[in-house]
Structure 1
Amino acid sequence: MSDNAELLWGARFKAAPAASLTALSRSPDYYFALAPYDLAGCRAHARELARGDLLSAEELSTMLAAIDALDADYRAGQLHPIAADEDVHTFIERALTERLGPLGGKLRAGRSRNDQTVNDLRLYLRDNGRKVVSALLALQQALVEQAAAHTESVAPGFTHLQQAQPIVFGHQLLAHAQSFARDIERMQDWDRRSARCPLGAAAMAGSAIARQPAQAAADLAYLAPCENSIDAVASRDYAAEFLFVTSMIGINLSRLCEEVCMWASRQFRWVELHDSYATGSSIMPQKKNPDIAELTRGRSGRLVGNLMALLTTMKAMPLSYNRDLSDDKRNVIDAVDTLLLVLPAMAGMMATLTFNTEVMREQAPDGFTLATEVADWLAMRGVPFREAHEITGQLVQLCERENCGLSDLSDAQLQTVDARLTPEVRHALTLE
């Protein structure tokens, strides 16, 4: 037997791998988080081998029991990779053969690490995609509940970061909830497209042993097997698309975070952060900082970076599998870990914000935000909107000269701009 027998690929080589190759080739520790998904693939493949008469009924029963025991031990923290385990597949096969002896070695027939790793990653992403959706729903619920409490709270709405028009503040909160609703739809749509099982593709040309991929797909709750064995092992568009969805979630989170940071500032004074979701300063005793919003805003850059990293890796890569693709897991695992860390914190922060509705209402007319209402009032009385816009612009100029608001102008001042600005226009100058 080869001196490299502990390596899944070692039989062809006389010399042991260089230490630098081993260090570069070994998967980072967090890749081993795919172990439960690798074990799920092992179960499905064992059943496939039994259907092809490569395992007897007794051998299948023994193997499935051993796989279940490994799964339980791993989840209990009692099963760990060792330095010689090049990757999660080596780790699981070593642990299985230690328990089953030669029977454990039968499981390798008809499969390759190429289709194994795709299966592990697809299962991991589908499982964690559902967890991300669940966490997003919790944040969305916090936004909806806050919006329901502010159906009569008035605040200035903004365009170009300048006061634009008065709005019901609940409407603003629901705008964020709506963006997260689309993120949820994107993740669900991604799942439908990605629910394809690669098992049976083997290295890239398929397998004469694993001949019922549709059954393996059903065993693992996929919708169908992959249609093309080369594409099955070579493509990572499902991972890139997942990272686009997580990036979009990050972008939408970042926009919400930016607003929370502004609302909590002394310049706005719109919200009070709950003490349990804020931090202070080591030198400035008065500070109450929106760290959750700031940290989440920062982490959104990592989410976008993960997408860019994988797309760059995939660019101009020939078919089929290339080792470059092994780094795909670094990007997706980081994206999942990031979202599952920030989303619960964001949900808690949003649910516990206290809004200063009096200040919001007081600021609502600032910046001549009711000017559009005046122009609309004129238009509804037959004035062409182009002309109504001009008249209202002159009103704003008058207010700027007089250093007052629109509602502060006297009836006489209104008439100096245009005779059609009768006292009834004041109905358009209220927040009601």
Structure 2
Amino acid sequence: MKNKKLWGGRFSSSTDSVMETFSESISFDKRLYEYDIAGSIAHAQMLAKQGIIKDEEADKIIEGLRKIKRMIEEGEFEFRIEDEDIHMNIERKLIEIVGKVGGKLHTARSRNDQIALDIRLFLRDATIHIIDRLTDILKHFLSLAEKYIDVVMPGFTHLQHAQPVLFSHYILAYYEKFKRDRDRFRDTLKRIDVLPLGSGALAGTSFPIDRKYVAEQLGFSKISRNSMDAVSDRDFAIEFLSDVAICAMHASRFAEEMVIFSSQEFDFIELPDEFCTGSSIMPQKKNPDAMELIRGKTARTYGNLIQMLVLMKALPLTYNRDMQEDKESLFDSIDTIIGTLDVLSGVIPKIKPKIESLQKALDKGFITATDLADYLAKKGMPFREAHKVVGQIVAYAEKNNKELNEISIEELKSFSDLIENDVLDVLHYRKAVNSRTSYGGTAKDNVLNIIEEIKKELSIRQDGNTVKCPRCGYPVKVYKNPIPTTDIIIKVDDKIVLIKRKNPPYGWAIPGGFIDYGESAEQAAIREAKEETGLDVELESVLGVYSDPDRDPRQHTITTVFIAKAKGRPKAGDDAESLGLFDKDNLPETIAFDHKKILKDFFEKHNV
């Protein structure tokens, strides 16, 4: 019996059912469908552009791919184990829909460079989502620090009372850790953002392909320059998993302290009820299960990182089937870290320090002993001698069941003639906190200054400046709060004008941009239309005002959308790479921002 696989021409018998079950990856790589289809559409467009296939063949293939995407999203697509993976499942269905021409889609590519592309596209989006969640967590830490700026708590080394610190200073320590995590993910994006498609199986292709065009279509800033490296490389995935593991480690450390600090033995903080659970037998219990699960799930991210390292450690160049095992660990780590960050985003804003319990704790453990040693050193005593003297004072206090602030001046003077009445200022924990004025120290003025630095750091709205978008890294001009923008739907001969952006975030979009101060929204719409399309437009009406903090990853949060009409042929200008005329039945793929929603509203309200 002949092998019926799409690759089965040289085989005389079909694949054993045991082998099919053992080797399939569709059960998990089907979640890559969106990226596989996007890559295939860009590939088909390039093949037609280069004359490798005919335009009408590419149109037919692309139409079939879009139909498959709708079928998958609507739950009408049957994923088959015998088709092995997401690529073959989609390709077989494409051939069923459009006929033999569907087989031309695989011209000048291999599953080796195809899966490398899918993973990079998938990881690029996942990384951006993680960066967004980390930004939210940083904002929550900032708000918590600002809210409880006057609360003091014991600081610890070796889990022993060490020195008093502001609760805000403690919270902002985790801000710094998670900020480094965000920086790591942003940096890893540089290694993810490389187009591998066009590398073929390992040696490139003899077809006259245009890899630069495909990179532009898919929004890649770089193109791989060695085909053997491109199909065998999973460094970017290992780096991503390392970023996840480090981030999870920080989450686990924070979670551990929340477990400890919320226990009755410490009683420093109260966790929100909605992230705790009860006991099935002990009605008094409030268990910090969310924090414990974060600790536990961190182990999965470590295991996934090690699995990937071991998977790749001895593979010869180039692609080997072992590499099929790279995806489940990636998927699991992504799901785990996103779940972890979502829980933290829910917990952090609702953490409440228990001020009375903290004050009681500050009166224990000789927490100002270092300040007393510093006091003596400032009066001329060598620090090592001062350290010894204070140690003797602590031993005396322990023997007499006293805290440092309960020892009389006369008793203290018996240990050193340098001790005077002003020592009482040193022994109070709040004054000790505010004495730590070195940059990065816990003094209140220091922490307030850092809070202001962080506010600037988290905001891209710096009046009159050009700054890097915190999400996509593209330089954007920013204005005063709020950021007002305008979009304009231009009707030309019963179609609408959309621009294809040449800068990130890539995709098709409605023409528009910032409203400059000193001009009305109407004036801005006409100006932007002229700059981006070259058309003289006539405004007809306002579709609506769209305001949503998440509507645009570059935080252009509010836009007025106008409807206009024009005659003539538009010409690409400003940041438009190209222009197109579309109707509701022929919209392009990859529409940027929230413009899909805007266009849906437009088509529902107007018969175009």
Alignment TM-score > 0.5, same fold = yes
Deviations 1:204-225 (A, max 9, x none): 0001126322221121111111
| Aligned pairs (5 A) from 1:187-336 | 187-209=185-207, 211-336=209-334
From 71, 74, 77, the counterpart of 1:73: 71
Match of 1:353 in 2: 351
How far apart are the structure 1 equivalents of 2:252 and 2:177? 12
Match of 1:107 in 2: 105
Deviations 1:389-417 (A, max 9, x none): 12111111111111111111111210121
How far apart are the structure 2 equivalents of 1:112 and 1:128? 24
* 1:431 positional shift: 2.1
Higher helix share: 1
Deviations 1:294-313 (A, max 9, x none): 00110000001000000001
Helix, strand or coil at the partner of 1:423: coil
Deviations 1:116-160 (A, max 9, x none): 010000111011111111122222222221111111100000011
* 1:77 positional shift: 2.6
Letter in 2 for 1:3: K
* 1:28 positional shift: 5.0
Letter in 2 for 1:318: P
* 1:203 positional shift: 0.3
Letter in 2 for 1:371: A
Helix, strand or coil at the partner of 1:36: helix
Moved more, 228-237 or 19-28: 19-28
From 16, 26, 42, the counterpart of 1:44: 42
Letter in 2 for 1:353: I
Identity of counterpart residues, as a percentage?
38
| Aligned pairs (5 A) from 1:8-87 | 8-27=6-25, 29-87=27-85
Match of 2:551 in 1: none
* 1:170 positional shift: 0.8
In structure 1, runs of 5+ residues without a counterpart are: none
The reply to whether residue 411 of structure 1 matches residue 409 of structure 2 is yes
Moved more, 35-44 or 416-425: 416-425
Deviations 1:35-72 (A, max 9, x none): 10100110111012112312222222222222222223
Match of 2:464 in 1: none
Check whether the contact 1:166–1:365 (CA below 8 A) recurs between aligned residues. Answer: no
How far apart are the structure 2 equivalents of 1:364 and 1:89? 62
Helix, strand or coil at the partner of 2:414: helix
Deviations 1:65-119 (A, max 9, x none): 2222222322233323123220000111012111111111110111100000100
How far apart are the structure 2 equivalents of 1:105 and 1:259? 57
How far apart are the structure 2 equivalents of 1:366 and 1:47? 72
Letter in 1 for 2:80: I
TM-score by length of 1: 0.97
How far apart are the structure 2 equivalents of 1:133 and 1:90? 32
Deviations 1:314-354 (A, max 9, x none): 11211111111110001100101111222111211122122
Check whether the contact 1:271–1:354 (CA below 8 A) recurs between aligned residues. Answer: yes
How far apart are the structure 1 equivalents of 2:194 and 2:311? 22
How far apart are the structure 1 equivalents of 2:278 and 2:142? 28
Helix, strand or coil at the partner of 1:417: coil
How far apart are the structure 2 equivalents of 1:244 and 1:192? 15
In structure 2, runs of 5+ residues without a counterpart are: 431-608
Helix, strand or coil at the partner of 1:84: helix
Letter in 2 for 1:361: Q
Match of 1:135 in 2: 133
Letter in 2 for 1:21: M
CA RMSD of aligned residues (A): 1.3
Deviations 1:251-299 (A, max 9, x none): 0000000000001100111122222111000000000011110001100
Letter in 1 for 2:185: M
Check whether the contact 2:123–2:192 (CA below 8 A) recurs between aligned residues. Answer: no
From 158, 166, 170, the counterpart of 2:164: 166
Letter in 2 for 1:94: R
Cα 1:83–1:326 shift into 2, 3 Å:
closer
Check whether the contact 1:52–1:209 (CA below 8 A) recurs between aligned residues. Answer: no
Check whether the contact 1:49–1:209 (CA below 8 A) recurs between aligned residues. Answer: no
Question: How many pairs were matched up?
Answer: 430
Check whether the contact 2:178–2:250 (CA below 8 A) recurs between aligned residues. Answer: yes
How far apart are the structure 1 equivalents of 2:175 and 2:70? 39
Cα 1:188–1:291 shift into 2, 3 Å:
same
Deviations 1:353-382 (A, max 9, x none): 222112112212421110111111112222
